[in-house]
Structure 1
Amino acid sequence: MRRGSSDRVGAAHPTGLTAAERERIASGAAHGDWLTLGKSGRLSLYAPTDEGLLRWTEVTAGGPEWSGPHFVAAPGLSHLAVAQGPDTYVHFLGRRERAAADGARSVDIVHAIQYQTGLAFTDWRSLGNPDKDREQGRQVGAPVGAIAPDGTVHVFVRNAQRGLSLRREGPGGKWKAWEDLHGIGIDALCAPVALATGRIEVCAAAETGVFLWRQLEPGGDFTGPRGFSLRPAPGTVSAVESGPERATFFWTDADSGGAAAWRVGRWPAVLGGSPADRPYAALRTSLDGYDCVVLAYRDRDGSAVLGVGGTEDEDNGFWWYTLAESCQGAPALARDGHGRVVMALIDPDGVPKVARQENTAGLTFGQWHRL
């Protein structure tokens, strides 16, 4: 595997750096919404590093200056995912590996929250492991989060049996027990999406195709998994709410090598582009008065790629642009405090870079800014 292609915390840093420089270097890209917009209108960017994570924050809404990095300790963290709810609280989920008293390794899932932009995190809380057997528990996958409109946190992981497990908050903030949502042979990372009506849907690539789980009502049980004979490439599935009570899922098609968009009740739409090697970053936004979806991904050569097309209008084409930037892991997309699209990536040397939408027709980014 080429250096910089892993999103595992603790990947090798560039050599020849001082200790102070290493403290500012990310070890990859986090999973999920690692570029977030707070109530203050300021963006924050989060990236894993050795024994914790780093945070950069805009000094004023809309930039261009950023403060940071601020280091948050998280010993033993092997994977980091970031999710944000409508209340703008930022949730951090990690897969933690630790040595027990007898020297054996154990794995648990941990959770922390940042309530306000640029301020402190809560302590890391262990959510345990869906597999009670310690040896089997070491096979649990990385967590993925979805935050319902009422703020309820949902944590999904692939369990040792390669099915899907869920742990979520109950009334009053007390966590419910782990739930087995079943499935078999699923990919390491599922793609949940929280719909504005309160329901959550989850899509996962599997050895036999695609599995889909759906809540029938907000806060309710999950039905499924329902299987579909489709061919997504593992590790590339992502999701966006594309209409009332509708989610569109994006992935790289294993047969054609290009991007595909799929909604329940229709065949996948072919979008073109080169193969991705991580999940797509997906953002729904308005461009020149049109409802659009912006996609960003890392291709197999390590280059960042950007795509734009009409929301639920895939048949009219997607426009792809290979950027002159290389990155680790998947890029991130968000809107800043002025509504402009911002793209972030972690470059091969572990340095975050951001580019902001210019005031022109279509979607054009200005100069990349190293944090």
Structure 2
Amino acid sequence: MALRMLRGKDGRLTAYALVAGGIARWTELRPGGPEWTGPQLFETPGLTDITVAQGADGYTHLIGLRRKAVGDERTDVELVHATQFQTGRPLTGWHSLGTPHPKDWRKALKVGAPTAAVDVSGAVHVFVRNAGRGVSARRQDAKGKWGGWLDLKGKEVVDGLSATATADGRLEVFAPTEDGALRWYQPEPGGGLQRGDDVTARPSPGSVSAVESSRDTLTHYWRDQRTGAVCAYRPGAGTTASLGGETGIGPVAVVRAEIEGHDCTLVAQRDTRTGRLAVAAHPSEDEAAGVWWTATGEPGLAEPALALDASDRVVLAAMGPDGGLRVARQKTTEPGLALHAWQHV
């Protein structure tokens, strides 16, 4: 999992990162900062991947992939789930979700990193690449009961699935493949998932993200595997837009924010040319207006995350070379997107 940063019901931001031995968590002391607490380590031996999803109730769901050696020749794999009910509160215990291959541990080893989203009813949906290189899903209803694993089909899926919910609670799943991308969506909030049109694209594994760019409409972002450019795709638009940024690497972070009264979408990534983070913005759903990438932060920052704080200011966070959290917050006294000095948390 790349670094993730979410805003709780009380307005405070929380950042989560997978680290050696488990999950590190940093939490704002008060809405809008600037002080933070952390890192607090939640020890989870064998955890190799983690994703974080949040519902309208503010509950944060953590879903991980955990491995455990059994003897000299066997390794068991399972997906696990824990919940944080309020900002700064402890996690519940981990609950096993098994895998789509409960009777074959060798197939279970091929399960990919999970992604998750929460729908309008509060139901948690978990998605993974299965051993057949399709996509499997499991759902927890609003009362906490988990259903069985469902096979959504698909083929040649690679790592880097992305599941996102709109504010109305309608889900979309975006799955990179060897020569394109697949998409599933709910036609209406709370409905069943349907297969959408295949996307002509070559997303780099681990780079895909999405943002609600207008009411109940998601725009998906990724880095093109051939050119390195950051791309944007909106179902129904019919085309994929290139935003430049060809020298980036790793995850693409995205958030929608108001900048000087304009509805904008901000994108951040790590720039291999400078070793720093690069940030760009464009009018939401108007990628053709062009973007300009600007370097920020010290060299060595990685895994950028974007969120809005309690005052709807843009907050950019990243992991430092020392494993610590770095945070920069939007200035409100200067025009455009200007950030305060980076803070070592």
TM-score, normalized by length of structure 1? 0.87
- Contiguous gaps of at least 5 residues in structure 1: 1-29
In 1, are the aligned partners of 2:122 and 2:142 still within 8 Å (CA)?
Answer: no
Could you say which residue in structure 2 is the equivalent of 1:31?
Answer: 2
Could you say which residue in structure 1 is the equivalent of 2:147?
Answer: 176
Could you say which residue in structure 1 is the equivalent of 2:289?
Answer: 316
Amino acid at match of 1:317: G
- How far is 1:349 from its partner? 1.6
Matched position secondary structure for 2:197: strand
Matched position secondary structure for 2:143: helix
Greater RCO (CA < 8 Å, at least 6 residues apart): 1
List aligned pairs for 1:1-371, cutoff 5 A.
30-31=1-2, 34-100=4-70, 104-132=74-102, 133-170=104-141, 172-224=143-195, 226-265=197-236, 266-301=238-273, 302-327=275-300, 329-359=302-332, 360-371=334-345
In the TM superposition, what whole-angstrom CA distance separates every residue of 1:216-245 from its partner, at most 9, and x where no partner exists?
Answer: 233332222532332333332211111233
Q: Name which of structure 1's ranges 234-243 and 335-344 shifts more when overlaid on structure 2.
A: 234-243
In 1, are the aligned partners of 2:62 and 2:81 still within 8 Å (CA)?
Answer: yes
Could you say which residue in structure 2 is the equivalent of 1:21?
Answer: none
The CA distance in 1 between the partners of 2:63 and 2:151, in whole Å, is 19
Matched position secondary structure for 1:272: coil
Q: Name which of structure 1's ranges 64-73 and 299-308 shifts more when overlaid on structure 2.
A: 299-308
Could you say which residue in structure 2 is the equivalent of 1:12?
Answer: none
The CA distance in 2 between the partners of 1:63 and 1:119, in whole Å, is 18
- How far is 1:215 from its partner? 1.7
In 2, are the aligned partners of 1:157 and 1:189 still within 8 Å (CA)?
Answer: no
Q: Name which of structure 1's ranges 233-242 and 74-83 shifts more when overlaid on structure 2.
A: 233-242
The CA distance in 2 between the partners of 1:354 and 1:171, in whole Å, is 34
* Structure 1 vs Structure 2 CA RMSD: 1.8
Matched position secondary structure for 1:31: coil
Could you say which residue in structure 2 is the equivalent of 1:3?
Answer: none
Matched position secondary structure for 2:288: helix
In 2, are the aligned partners of 1:294 and 1:308 still within 8 Å (CA)?
Answer: yes
- How far is 1:150 from its partner? 2.6
In the TM superposition, what whole-angstrom CA distance separates every residue of 1:166-204 from its partner, at most 9, and x where no partner exists?
Answer: 111135220010111111111211122212333211112
Matched position secondary structure for 2:137: strand
The CA distance in 2 between the partners of 1:56 and 1:229, in whole Å, is 38
Equivalenced residue count is: 341
Q: Name which of structure 1's ranges 225-234 and 172-181 shifts more when overlaid on structure 2.
A: 225-234
- Percent identical pairs in the alignment equals 43
Amino acid at match of 1:361: P
In 1, are the aligned partners of 2:134 and 2:153 still within 8 Å (CA)?
Answer: yes
The CA distance in 2 between the partners of 1:274 and 1:322, in whole Å, is 14
TM-score, normalized by length of structure 2? 0.93
Amino acid at match of 2:42: V
- How far is 1:334 from its partner? 0.9
In 1, are the aligned partners of 2:116 and 2:125 still within 8 Å (CA)?
Answer: yes
In the TM superposition, what whole-angstrom CA distance separates every residue of 1:340-368 from its partner, at most 9, and x where no partner exists?
Answer: 11111001221111011011211111111
In 2, are the aligned partners of 1:252 and 1:275 still within 8 Å (CA)?
Answer: no
Q: Name which of structure 1's ranges 286-295 and 242-251 shifts more when overlaid on structure 2.
A: 242-251
- How far is 1:84 from its partner? 1.7
- Contiguous gaps of at least 5 residues in structure 2: none
In 2, are the aligned partners of 1:236 and 1:276 still within 8 Å (CA)?
Answer: no
The CA distance in 1 between the partners of 2:175 and 2:291, in whole Å, is 23
